[in-house]
Structure 1
Amino acid sequence: MSNEHYLNNPMIHRERRLSQATSPWVRQFDCSHMRPLIICRGPIRKEAMDVFAEMGITHYGILLSEKDSIVYPRALAPELRVLTDPYRVHRVPDYTGATKEERDQRIADIIAIARDGDYNSIFAGYGFMAEDETMVAAMEAAGLNFIGPCSRTVRQAGLKDEAKRTALKTGVSVTPGIDNGTALTLLKKYPTVSDLQTLCKKEGLEVDASVWEIDAVETIADEVLAASYRKGIDLYTVEELSETLTECVEKINEQYPENRVRLKAIGGGGGKGQRIIALGDAARTPELVREILNEVKTTGVGDNKNVLVELNIETTRHQEIQVVGNGEWSITLGGRDCSLQMHEQKLLEVSVTRESLLSAQQRAEQDGRAEEAAVMAQDVRTLDAMEDEASRFGTAVGLDSVSTFECIVDRDKHFFMEMNTRIQVEHRVSELCYAMKFTNPDNDGDSFVVESLVEAMVLLAAHGPALPKPERIPRFEDSVEARLNATNDALQPNAGGQIEYWSDAIDGEIRDDQGISLHNPDTDVFMNYTLAGAYDSNIALLLTVGDSREQTYERMAEVLRATSMRGRDLHTNLAFHYGLVHWFLGRTVNARPTTKFIVPYLTSVGELATESRRIDVDTAWSLLVQSSAAELDAAEGAQLTEALSRKQSLLLRPLRFLLDSPHALSGWLSLNQKAFDHSGDTIVWAENPIEVLADTYHFLKLNYSESAPAANVIWEHDHAILTAAEDFYSDLGEYLPTGDWSALNAALAGEAPEGFNAEEWLSVQSAHRGFQAGMEILELLPAMAQFTGFFELAINSDMTIHFPERLLDEEHQKAMMKALAPPPLAKSDEIVAASGGMFYGRESPDAPVYLEVGSHFEAGDPLYIVEVMKMFNKVYAPFSGTVDEVLVEGDGTIISKGQTLFKVTPDEQIEIETDDVVASRKREHTRELMKLVL
């Protein structure tokens, strides 16, 4: 169902207009007096508009960035199809500003717009402005009601260094590390209180007199630094900070020699501003610190440049707790497992609820899976502990809205990571599992229920102190969210594509997509949407719910199967999600993947992609036909060859589809791994191949339709053959047990059973052989899995993941990423752009360029940085050589994928194989692989 269907479905959502309630106590919480200005974009903006309308809030407006002209070159922003009043749309250069000065200007712009537009409140969604203390404080000072945590909460919980200190005071488990690198840097230069006082006098810094009475000199240094930020001056250089942080990294390496170290900007989020330092690579700290500061745009004079140094928990699961508070009370709404992520960017998010874990534990106990049951029991204890800590932390920081308490979980231990003082992208995962019931303290029968976290934010902003602590009410046991992103098969951002068609949402689908999939209200035509690099790569959030995690995954699989998108230069991770969801369904959805799962998983899929390119399907089919006919006399052989020719497209077409899509192949193998027996030297069917083939056409979205284009369906003559085969085995089931394929095969090879005469039985046997003829070609797929070791990436009995060593090798991982997303073709004397985006030829504005004419580079040296969809990606040299010509104009230049950036002379001459040599090698490899089949 669409987002609107979800909001209006009485099973899932209740009426929100409290002003229409009969109870005076309930009516007092009406929010129709709120007049919010929405200062964010993306799915949360459309969701807020829908929620505001349902709450009876009629006066609201939105910001519209000038960058949106890139996204909508020939169309309106999706929201403008429903928000038709031009006086409620306010144009700004961008939403946040790239520098401190631009951010300050944007804050002033927002305040001015609010005053001119008669708005009395601000909604910032999950953009970075939502947890910018300066912005929140400015809104409060301007008399605007900020719909989100107040500036005090943002300061104490939102800044990662402050949050870690609060956690320590509150008895919350934290990750080992250093949170005051800037203070330590300052104290190197001014080690005593007296030195700091002299510094303040010299620079004219205003520090409260009580600060000098504090015993801890590091705390005093933090206060002095805060004063310098307020004045807009620097008391340390990036080089000095980097030196301190390098020492911190080396110290952690000494204490924990088996763990890497994570650097984390205090104001980052969503993967921005974080880097991991490999073991023994502490010398790279200065380089990575500069990358981080550039990425979070805190390189200006007076910016707080603090960077946390933390132990990287190598086996971590990323879990978070949804917290809601009014400044006096805090409650939690269960957890979310966000471990399925890459480059700190979440991909598939799964609910973690007490009810679901207990149900899974009970089912495991009933089925005799004692170790799995013990894992579920431990997860319940961990969840309880995290929810307790989250509630206490929320109360400690005076949480007066919606926030997220983020943790890393290592088996039976957990550590607080940070609190995001904003609503999260994945907030739906929690609100679908729990609602909040607010009850009149003087009358138990007088209450109302809130099921939307956006609605809760508005209620808390309007009536926070008057709201009693709510009761948590279960809704669905499980939910899951897939982030549909503009990325290629290796999950690298792909900007510049355009969506020209998107299938409608199906029943059971919850789709948050900013309104992209809404058709033109006048013409009912889909409006093209450009995936510009100005924003992040997210296109939509797809959610499903269920009474168990397995049911939720099954529904997500169907949503992904039914989703179809087409467009120009359009690349999305839809196929990746389809394969990943089936990977877990084919094993167990109760697995405990860590944050390092996705890269080895992608590596295994890359191995499938590599193997697929080594297969010559025509050669495989020719070998099968020859082998099958060789066992018969000439007449029977000719007859079989003719029969196989009629079935050729039926069998080879889905095979080619799977070989062309490694992610779909991963999902198919996972779904059908029990359909084959791999124990011997050859592949043996464990299920009826006809049923597998029929399921394969459904899996590939090639179901029969008389009206659909031939490219999108099973062809009519193939459909007739497959239907006849299915009907044959269905009818046969009335006489023979067909549940066990090996038993049925044995029966069909024997004497005629009761109810058949000899002639009839010969006819049945002949039909069976005819329908099964050629089905061996599908065994090529499990043969590929066996050859590549695809099933070696497995789930252990304790629900952890077993990683074959090869999948953890970084060089192999890089090679398989290239196999999934081959780089653009380039001549041997040039380097071309790996992706579109914004080009930077140096580490930071004051650093020397990586390459200039005459520069010699070695393989693995950095060549340039490309900013694509808000992430900085450093590109390294694939070979060594010398630069002859620089063809890009300079930093900040927009480049396109495949564009020539440098003309070079490689150190070694590259030899290119001919097409004939490549084709011959494919044929030979196919012959070897077919030995597992024939």
Structure 2
Amino acid sequence: MFSKILIANRGEIACRIIRTAAKMGIRTVAVYSDADRNAMHVALADEAIGIGPAPARASYLDAEKIIAAAKTTGAEAIHPGYGFLSENAAFAEACAAAGFVFIGPPPQAIRAMGGKSEAKALMAKAGVPVVPGYHGDEQAEKRLASEADKIGYPVLLKASAGGGGKGMRVVRQKSGFAAELVGAKREALAAFGNDRMLIEKYLERPRHVEVQVFADGHGTCVSLFERDCSIQRRHQKVIEEAPAPGLPDGLRQRMYEAAVAAARAIDYRGAGTVEFLLDPSGDFYFMEMNTRLQVEHPVTEYITGLDLVEWQIRVANGEALPEDWADLRINGHAIEARIYAEDPAHDFLPSIGTVSHLVFPDESPHIRIDSGIRAGDAITVHYDPMIAKLIVWDTDRPSAVRRLRLALEKLAICGVTSNAAFLTRLAGLDAFAAADLDTGFITRNEAALFASAATDENRIAMAALGLLLSRRKTGNIHSRPPADPHSPWNTTNAFRLNAPARENLHFIFDHQPHEVRVSHEADGFSLEIGARTIRACGKLSDDGELQATVGDGKRQGHFFAEGNSHALFLGGEHYRISQPDPVDIADSSTHTGGLEAPMPGVIRALLSENGAAVEAGAALVVMEAMKMEHTIRAPAKGIVTAINCAEGDMVAAGAVLVDFEPEGA
């Protein structure tokens, strides 16, 4: 067995590999960019070595630096994790040439599946069903448009060289084809250095079902069952579960056989995933093969009891897969939710900042947290904004869904906007409980998923209680130790001589101003909210846990100071609370009409010009951030009075990109 391996990755997967290697008695080397100097994976590894500046191309994607780090530290093997260089055949070859074992498939297998067009042709030859489409070399716009006409709209434009939703566009009408092609090519070129496109028939309401395969170097190749990854946004997965609910046994078996045939066709080795689109009719089609471990592999580990990372290492070391894998059976049901720093209310725009507070549910045999982020860590523009993966397991799907919902309600993330509340709502939907799944799930249920958080007197009372307890705690921390602890001059609870302690508490809760009349009592507070009086008492711990009795009910949440405001996490929802100065409110009433960059990024295209009259929703500027394109659009019909950026500019969050004057202003 290897004595030392280098992990050519970062984040939660690097942490996962390090922990598995430690369990196997293998020493680990972490690599890190300047931005990750203090990251969790660096702290966990036995050794760590810097490999350059924050941009991935100058660090994690620089194969020469990775191999040099392995030589310097005496590693014997390199594990690429997923993403970055994990599906780079040239890197796998470079590792072998330098004398290192690449913990992954052979270079020729990676290369065979690296181009979607070539992969589909290879799969069709191997008898694996493929989606009707055009995968040819000719890439002239006229030819691509002609092929789209032959296939019939709607069609799906896909970058041949990549995945993860980048360079992928749905085109529903011929009139929109040219513009979508330009955008897809530009995004593909930025992400993969290759703008070649393929076109496929776009299936309405398909499910995304994938099969985990594993092969050794001794001729054994097996399937480890399937996962349903249908719930997606921007063609990227949000929820994954294993097994896929509602599949007939015969269909399952055919998918397993097709996946193994795909792996054998390229002489595969190690862990891989064959992804299919499943039509409502029951037909399924090969979509792509990921020649690496997938983000969602923990759900397969839960239902099989296997450690797939351990077996990646063992197979790379030359071991054969156990014979008893042929007798494995599905045990229970597992669901994974991807927790991202992103804003679902604004088209899932990534959120940048420092994670000031981070609360996860306690891990147990039923709950697992995979994360590479701790409180105090930064989410930067340079890498994927994943905070963690929350994985639950139970004996059947209804029980697993209940566990997922309860676990999500215990999340509390401050400092960045996260999708935690969105995931909690999703887990509570009747459609999710009923396994009414397809790739359009989020769009179909957007009214419930993007609704404003519920606000009532009890929640307002919790906000007021949090403010009062937080103020009391802060007052106790900063007060001097009293000579007489019973002296009224040393109290911090609005004491008044011969009169009840009363005050009016003003704050903004979930964007709405509130006034709560507070009476301080011996064991709590009496809160007048509108026409209702609510008794509230509770405890605010040092780690932000708020345990309260509000009216006749007990409630539990988290309450944190967040800069000049506060955050309340209650029942899976996140509420912001502030007590602004009235003068500040008056000063902030003006609006310049500028359209701002929502986050740091690079300007990729200017689609308008000074003086242009535009309609509401017109695309004005395209910027790239966090490996995805974001379009700045006109908020109303009006005039573009100035373009304040140029193609190629690196802009900061909040930079005014376009001066805009609405019609009639």
Q: 2:410 aligns with which of 548, 558, 562?
A: 562
Correspondence for 2:187:
292
Contact 2:51 2:66 in 1 (8 A): no
Question: Which letter maps to 1:176?
Answer: P
Correspondence for 2:338:
483
* Residue 145 (str. 1) matches residue 107 (str. 2): no
Correspondence for 1:495:
351
Contact 2:78 2:100 in 1 (8 A): yes
Question: Which letter maps to 1:599?
Answer: T
Contact 1:841 1:851 in 2 (8 A): no
- Structure 1 residue 341, shift from structure 2 partner: 0.8
Correspondence for 1:316:
206
Give per-residue Cα distances to partners, 1:427-480, cap 9 Å, x unaligned: 011111114xxxxxxxxxxxxxxx211111111111146876833534631100
Question: Which letter maps to 2:657?
Answer: L
TM-score (norm 1): 0.56
- Structure 1 residue 893, shift from structure 2 partner: 1.4
Residues of 2 paired with 1:831 and 1:248: CA distance?
41
Residues of 1 paired with 2:67 and 2:542: CA distance?
53
Correspondence for 1:134:
90
Contact 1:260 1:311 in 2 (8 A): yes
Q: Give the 5 Å matches for 1:193-342.
A: 241-253=140-152, 259-280=153-174, 281-298=176-193, 305-327=195-217, 328-342=219-233
* Residue 598 (str. 1) matches residue 488 (str. 2): no
Correspondence for 2:57:
97
Shift in CA distance, 826/863, structure 1 to aligned 2, threshold 3 Å: farther
**Which structure 1 residue ranges, 5 or more long, are not aligned?**
1-30, 70-75, 186-239, 254-258, 358-375, 436-450, 518-526, 619-655, 661-701, 724-824, 843-848, 911-934
Contact 1:95 1:106 in 2 (8 A): no
Task: State the SS of the aligned residue for 2:294.
Answer: coil
Q: Give the 5 Å matches for 1:173-572.
A: 173-180=129-136, 182=137, 185=138, 241-253=140-152, 259-280=153-174, 281-298=176-193, 305-327=195-217, 328-352=219-243, 376=246, 378-411=247-280, 412-435=282-305, 451-464=306-319, 470-474=325-329, 476-490=331-345, 492-506=348-362, 507=364, 508-514=366-372, 516-517=373-374, 527-567=375-415, 570-572=416-418
* Residue 837 (str. 1) matches residue 600 (str. 2): yes
Task: State the SS of the aligned residue for 1:560.
Answer: helix
Residues of 2 paired with 1:274 and 1:117: CA distance?
40
- Structure 1 residue 715, shift from structure 2 partner: 5.1
- Structure 1 residue 416, shift from structure 2 partner: 0.9
Contact 1:263 1:276 in 2 (8 A): yes
Residues of 2 paired with 1:603 and 1:291: CA distance?
32
Shift in CA distance, 895/851, structure 1 to aligned 2, threshold 3 Å: farther
- Structure 1 residue 249, shift from structure 2 partner: 1.4
- Structure 1 residue 711, shift from structure 2 partner: 9.8
Correspondence for 2:657:
901
Question: Which letter maps to 2:349?
Answer: P
Task: State the SS of the aligned residue for 1:476.
Answer: coil
Give per-residue Cα distances to partners, 1:695-721, cap 9 Å, x unaligned: xxxxxxx998545599975754x44x4
Shift in CA distance, 703/275, structure 1 to aligned 2, threshold 3 Å: farther
Residues of 2 paired with 1:588 and 1:96: CA distance?
36
Contact 2:334 2:394 in 1 (8 A): yes
Residues of 2 paired with 1:597 and 1:45: CA distance?
31
| Percent sequence identity over aligned pairs | 26
- Structure 1 residue 347, shift from structure 2 partner: 0.8
- Structure 1 residue 594, shift from structure 2 partner: 0.9
Give per-residue Cα distances to partners, 1:300-345, cap 9 Å, x unaligned: xxx5x43211111111111111000125221111111111111111
Contact 1:295 1:871 in 2 (8 A): no
- Structure 1 residue 159, shift from structure 2 partner: 2.5
Contact 2:426 2:449 in 1 (8 A): no
- Structure 1 residue 83, shift from structure 2 partner: 3.2
Give per-residue Cα distances to partners, 1:471-502, cap 9 Å, x unaligned: 35346311000101111242512322321122
* Residue 589 (str. 1) matches residue 589 (str. 2): no
- Structure 1 residue 156, shift from structure 2 partner: 1.6
- Structure 1 residue 171, shift from structure 2 partner: 1.0
- Structure 1 residue 840, shift from structure 2 partner: 0.8
Q: 2:629 aligns with which of 845, 867, 872?
A: 872
Residues of 1 paired with 2:661 and 2:405: CA distance?
49
Contact 1:335 1:351 in 2 (8 A): yes
Residues of 1 paired with 2:94 and 2:544: CA distance?
57
Task: State the SS of the aligned residue for 1:415.
Answer: strand
- Structure 1 residue 93, shift from structure 2 partner: 2.9
Give per-residue Cα distances to partners, 1:827-878, cap 9 Å, x unaligned: 6752322521203151xxxxxx334444444433321123232211122222
Residues of 1 paired with 2:54 and 2:106: CA distance?
24
TM-score (norm 2): 0.77
Question: Which letter maps to 1:413?
Answer: D
Contact 1:157 1:421 in 2 (8 A): yes
Shift in CA distance, 250/295, structure 1 to aligned 2, threshold 3 Å: farther
- Structure 1 residue 512, shift from structure 2 partner: 0.5
Task: State the SS of the aligned residue for 1:296.
Answer: helix
Give per-residue Cα distances to partners, 1:222-254, cap 9 Å, x unaligned: xxxxxxxxxxxxxxxxxx53332222212212x
Residues of 2 paired with 1:468 and 1:398: CA distance?
19
Correspondence for 1:107:
63
Contact 1:121 1:144 in 2 (8 A): yes
**Which structure 2 residue ranges, 5 or more long, are not aligned?**
460-507, 513-534, 555-587
Contact 1:317 1:594 in 2 (8 A): yes
Residues of 2 paired with 1:406 and 1:307: CA distance?
19
Residues of 2 paired with 1:171 and 1:351: CA distance?
26
Identify the structure with the greater helix proportion.
1
Q: Give the 5 Å matches for 1:774-853.
A: 830-833=593-596, 835-842=598-605, 849-853=606-610
- Structure 1 residue 165, shift from structure 2 partner: 1.4
Structure showing greater radius of gyration is: 1
- Structure 1 residue 890, shift from structure 2 partner: 5.3
- Structure 1 residue 62, shift from structure 2 partner: 1.6
Task: State the SS of the aligned residue for 1:836.
Answer: coil
Give per-residue Cα distances to partners, 1:353-376, cap 9 Å, x unaligned: 6xxx6xxxxxxxxxxxxxxxxxx3
Bigger relative contact order (CA 8 A; separation at least 6): 1
Shift in CA distance, 245/264, structure 1 to aligned 2, threshold 3 Å: same
Give per-residue Cα distances to partners, 1:783-835, cap 9 Å, x unaligned: xxxxxxxxxxxxxxxxxxxxxxxxxxxxxxxxxxxxxxxxxx99675232252
Shift in CA distance, 252/853, structure 1 to aligned 2, threshold 3 Å: same
Give per-residue Cα distances to partners, 1:513-564, cap 9 Å, x unaligned: 11x34xxxxxxxxx41111121112110000100001111111112112222
Contact 1:265 1:273 in 2 (8 A): yes
Residues of 2 paired with 1:704 and 1:393: CA distance?
62
